Amino acid sequence: MSSQHYYLFSWIWTGIAIVLLPILLNITAPYGRHSRLDWGPMIPNRVAWIVMELPSLIMFITFFLLGPNRINIPLLVFFLLYTIHYTHRAIVFPLRTHTSTKLMPLLIACLAIFFNLINGFLNGFFFGSITEGYSLEYLYDIRFILGGIMFVIGMAINFKSDNILLALRNSGKKGYSIPTGGLFKYVSCPNFFGEILEWAGFAIMTWSPAALAFFAWTLVNLLPRALDHHKWYIANFEDYPPERKALIPFIL
Ligand SMILES: NC(=O)c1ccc[n+]([C@@H]2O[C@H](COP(=O)([O-])OP(=O)(O)OC[C@H]3O[C@@H](n4cnc5c(N)ncnc54)[C@H](OP(=O)(O)O)[C@@H]3O)[C@@H](O)[C@H]2O)c1
């Protein structure tokens, strides 16, 4: 794929995400607590997560390493941040969930595989073949430093919040309870807030159309889901803390 075609494809892919946002704000993605039986065939939840997320990791590593670019320190940092996140998301996180009896519509898994194939390709191909490289001085660039700080803070919030959620069922308890601790004091979905912050940081840090597209898609996936989760908590728990926002502390 030529550089020109690559950039065109990236901008179109980002544009699709922006166009989809108002539509997805009106559709509740039917997995997890919103799972429904009328979305066609279902597959086990844990298997779905692994199969959905692995393509992103495989595509990223393949296209990153197969490209002609020589790997220097900035590129190595980008490689490690992406692969650490996705190794956790595709393998560690699904194995830690207490959802072995739950099902997910096959259609949702297929859509996620499609999204992850494109995202993994766009990012891996950018670093492996498209970028003219990042000089060592780029390590002192404000974009690298600020974006890197955002990524690390976002990842820490995402991990901690997911840990709090997973711990709610550690004792064998089934169903849902009101999560507390960490940023749950302020929002219903700090795990999504952390994930969005993470990929916003990656987009700033890498200053690349691929990471910008991924950030746009993350926002489009997680903003509607956070609003749905928040409404669901309010509808299902009479004692749900009224001061808690959905996604962004004090704002939304
Ligand atoms: N980058 C992206 O586009 C993207 C898209 C989707 C997800 N993600 C990330 O993937 C991770 C998982 O996403 P998700 O949508 O599954 O998150 P979620 O709905 O918050 O659920 C996370 C896990 O915690 C459990 N859980 C949630 N709330 C609970 C409660 N109140 N009581 C007991 N257990 C609870 C869920 O069980 P159930 O499954 O039984 O509800 C699930 O195992 C998140 O870190 C998210 O940021 C990223």
The pLDDT of residue 178 is 98
Q: What is the mean pLDDT of each run of 10 residues along the chain (252 residues)?
A: 96 98 97 94 96 98 97 98 98 91 94 97 98 96 98 98 96 92 98 98 98 98 98 98 98 98
Smallest CA-to-CA distance from 156 within 224, 99, 88, 215 is with: 88
Tell me, yes or no, whether 244 lies in a domain: no
Pocket test for ligand 1, best of 42, 176, 193, 236 (most atoms within 8 A of CB): 176
Tell me, yes or no, whether 190 lies in a domain: yes
DSSP-H helix ranges across the chain? 3-24, 45-66, 73-87, 93-96, 106-125, 142-167, 190-206, 209-236
Q: How far is the CA of 77 from the centre of ligand 1 (A)?
A: 27
Tell me, yes or no, whether 243 lies in a domain: no
Count of domains observed in the chain: 1
Cα 152 to Cα 200: distance, rounded to the nearest angstrom: 11
Q: How far is the CA of 239 from the centre of ligand 1 (A)?
A: 22
The pLDDT of residue 87 is 98
Tell me, yes or no, whether 250 lies in a domain: no
Please answer whether residues 115 and 52 qualify as being in contact, where contact means their C-beta atoms are separated by less than 8 angstroms.
no
The pTM of this model reads 0.97
Tell me, yes or no, whether 252 lies in a domain: no
Going 171 to 175 to 181 to 183, the CA torsion angle's sign is positive
Tell me, yes or no, whether 247 lies in a domain: no
Tell me, yes or no, whether 94 lies in a domain: yes
Please answer whether residues 69 and 75 qualify as being in contact, where contact means their C-beta atoms are separated by less than 8 angstroms.
yes
The pLDDT of residue 241 is 98
Q: How far is the CA of 32 from the centre of ligand 1 (A)?
A: 7
Q: Which atom of ligand 1 is nearest to the CA of 176?
A: 32
| Domain membership of residue 66 as a residue range | 3-236
Cα 102 to Cα 137: distance, rounded to the nearest angstrom: 49
Tell me, yes or no, whether 248 lies in a domain: no
The pLDDT of residue 100 is 73
Structure tokens at 103: 């099902």
Ligand 1, pocket residues at CB < 6 Å: 32-33, 97, 99, 102, 158, 162, 165-166, 168-169, 176-177, 179, 191-192, 195, 217-218, 221-222, 225
